[in-house]
Amino acid sequence: MAVSTHYKAFVCELLSGLGVISTRNMFGGVGIYCEGVIFAVIGGDVLYLKVDEAMKVDLADLGCGPFIIDFGKGEGPKPMNGYWEMPQSAMDDADEACVWGRRALDYALHMQRQKKSKKKR
């Protein structure tokens, strides 16, 4: 599931309208960050966004599906339903990509705030 340097640079440029985009290698893929928060991953040169239930429905309607990963434990590939593929039309249109990316980032920021508030209790 290696990620090419070219594809990683392409994704950073595609989503640059959201702010400063950074990446971190992880588990054979790449985490995509904005504002220090992971909101997307790249696996096998495919971009997947962090999704809530509403985004899953919207993405499914466009023919997108969840990130599938095989941890190699003999269990076979499994969906990671927290990340779904970016629509192909958005991969060709930075404005559309940033609309989807903003939804993913807003959800990731919301989840981060929830985690912090639970820790303070």
**Pairwise CA distance, residues 60 & 68, whole Å:** 15
Q: What confidence score (pLDDT) does residue 91 get? A: 97
What pTM did the predictor assign? Answer: 0.89
Q: Tens digit of pLDDT for each residue in 20-69?
A: 999 999 877 899 999 899 999 998 889 999 999 999 999 999 999 999 87
Q: Averaged over 83-106, what is the pLDDT?
A: 97
4 pLDDT band, cuts 50/70/90, is confident
**5-120: CATH number:** 3.30.1460.30
Residue 105: predicted pLDDT: 98
Whole-number Å distance between alpha carbons of 59 and 54: 9
By C-alpha distance, which of 100, 96, 1, 99 is closest to 46?
1
Give the whole-angstrom CA distance, residue 80 versus residue 64: 13
The DSSP element (H or E) to which 99 belongs, if any, is helix 94-120
Which among 49, 46, 69, 68 is positioned nearest to 59, based on CA atoms? Answer: 49
Closest by CA to 97, choosing from 61, 63, 48, 60, is 48
Domain positions in the chain are 5-120
- Give the Cα-Cα-Cα angle 69, 100, 36 (nearest 5 degrees): 75
Residue 1 scores a pLDDT above 60 = no
**120 — pLDDT class (breaks 50, 70, 90):** low
Q: Is the model's pLDDT at 86 over the cut of 90? A: yes
Provide the pLDDT confidence category of residue 8 given band limits of 50, 70 and 90: very high
